[in-house]
Structure 1
Amino acid sequence: MRKALTRDRVLQAAVTIADRDGIAALTMRRLGAELGVEAMSLYHHLRGKDALLDGVAETLVGEILEAVEQVVADGDWRALLRARFLAAREIMLRHRWGPGVLNSRADVPFGVLRYYDSIIGVMIGAGFSYRIAHRAVHAFGSMPLGFVQEAFSPSADDTGGDDLAAVADLLPNLVAMVASEAHEAELGWCDSQVEFEFTLDLLLDGLDRAR
């Protein structure tokens, strides 16, 4: 007997495809083949590619929420937030297509708002004002979700690196930094674990002083 097709089952299959073959490989036809059904039957659960990617983003955020809610950190607000952000990063490293999908969606999954609400709650409970908590949310950016957003991606694998080299005389410091710092990274062109934790600790230390 064929297992019933549900929205959750469809989205889990979509995540499997993205993990295995990359997010570009995720199409309604490919997803139908993965599930052993005609692509048209998927439209009962997802209206098209945009709805599919919205659902994949929701599924990813759900994994992050589950991970951070399980975090138990001894110590103060700083230790708790640090542990939560690093737990979210483990999810992102498992789904390396995640930052691109989240950045591409027009609507923010409600789970993201829930998560940031809890971060603000931790800070208010630790004695921060709403003013500083607001500034903290801006400073954290996407770090609570386990990655940092790059202003640009100068990679030797795409035209970004070539474009920078072509204008090295106009951007000497930027080109020199890229040449010096470009390395194997987990997410993005320079988002390594060391740099993620360095930035996170810098922000948390600064917020502690601001309090």
Structure 2
Amino acid sequence: MAERTGTARRSPLNRDRVLRVAVALADESGIEGLSMRKLAQELGVVPMALYKHVANKEELLDGMVDAVVGGIGDPPDGAGWKDAVRNRILSARSALRGHAWALQALRSRTRPTPAVLAYLDSVIGTFRAGGLSLDLTHHAMHALGSRVLGFTQELYDAPPPQAGPPEPGPSAEESAAVAARYPHVTELARSVAHDRESVVGQGCDDQFEFEFALDLLLDGFEKLHGQGWTSAKAGGTRS
């Protein structure tokens, strides 16, 4: 467990320690296995003692998200805006992937937490310091979407694992009918070796696909910046 009996349990209770132990518990058993009662037990205190530091479980989750996002590394000194943004986003991806529960918790927040706002502010600031206009920066952040925090919402997420024996696959006749009806999907699906661990589709390398799309976006932003692009010139409207 996150903390054991002894000196660690006798150390003073504060918000930092509460969040640190909550993160460790979530790493062990996921968000579903985390409760205020279980957290209090691990800390060696009564549940009511926690409420001096976090008002409820939602505030606890906010703090846990901030603890993870606050650990995202800074880009190296002297990096250009494109390298700095790339480094920052890949650092965010690494930080979130280090805690399997973090993405679920982040998606469940109804508003950005302070650490998330600080992170987004730093990314926007990097674009602006690199000379990108406010207009282009605005649309760049829209284009990046959730990718700015290191994850993407794929067209079809992988289905959750099912208990019991796997369902039988389609018959040869059914596969042939699907291939005839959807030839381009079938051609693409058959062009890669299957990898059941990928969330972007069997045969896909998640990290490669993430960096491939990220680099396309950053190259596009750089090109538009060099062209003096504005949404007005492109005939767009602000959103």
Map 1:73-84 → 2, pairs under 5 A: 75-84=79-88
What SS class does the counterpart of residue 107 from structure 2 fall into?
helix
What's the counterpart of residue 198 of structure 1?
A: 212
What's the counterpart of residue 12 of structure 2?
A: 4
Superposition deviation, residue 28 in structure 1:
0.6
Q: Which amino acid aligns with 2:196?
A: H
8 Å contact from structure 1 (residues 92, 98) kept in 2: yes
8 Å contact from structure 1 (residues 154, 189) kept in 2: yes
What's the counterpart of residue 157 of structure 1?
A: 161
What's the counterpart of residue 230 of structure 2?
A: none
What's the counterpart of residue 97 of structure 1?
A: 101
2-structure distance, mates of 1:175, 1:116: 39
Measured against aligned partners, the alpha-carbon deviations of 1:139-187 in whole angstroms (never above 9, x if no partner) come to: 111223222233442326259xx8xx8xx96x957788678676324xx
Q: Which amino acid aligns with 1:205?
A: D
Match among 124, 128, 133 for residue 132 of structure 2: 128
8 Å contact from structure 1 (residues 61, 109) kept in 2: no
Match among 181, 190, 207 for residue 221 of structure 2: 207
8 Å contact from structure 1 (residues 11, 52) kept in 2: yes
2-structure distance, mates of 1:107, 1:178: 37
TM-score, length-normalised on structure 2?
A: 0.72
The verdict on how the C-alpha distance between 1:73 and 1:17 changes in structure 2, with shifts beyond 3 A counting, is same
Query: Structure 1 unaligned runs (5+)?
Result: none
Superposition deviation, residue 102 in structure 1:
0.6
Q: How many residue pairs end up in the alignment?
A: 201
The verdict on how the C-alpha distance between 1:174 and 1:28 changes in structure 2, with shifts beyond 3 A counting, is farther
2-structure distance, mates of 1:156, 1:107: 27
TM-score, length-normalised on structure 1?
A: 0.81
What SS class does the counterpart of residue 44 from structure 1 fall into?
coil
What SS class does the counterpart of residue 155 from structure 1 fall into?
coil
Could you list the structure 1 runs, at least 4 aligned residues long, displaced by more than 3 angstroms after superposition. Answer: 171-183, 188-191
Q: What is the alpha-carbon root mean square deviation over aligned residues?
A: 3.0
1-structure distance, mates of 2:86, 2:62: 27
The verdict on how the C-alpha distance between 1:86 and 1:175 changes in structure 2, with shifts beyond 3 A counting, is same
What SS class does the counterpart of residue 152 from structure 2 fall into?
coil
1-structure distance, mates of 2:98, 2:133: 35
Map 1:108-147 → 2, pairs under 5 A: 108-147=112-151
The verdict on how the C-alpha distance between 1:156 and 1:47 changes in structure 2, with shifts beyond 3 A counting, is closer
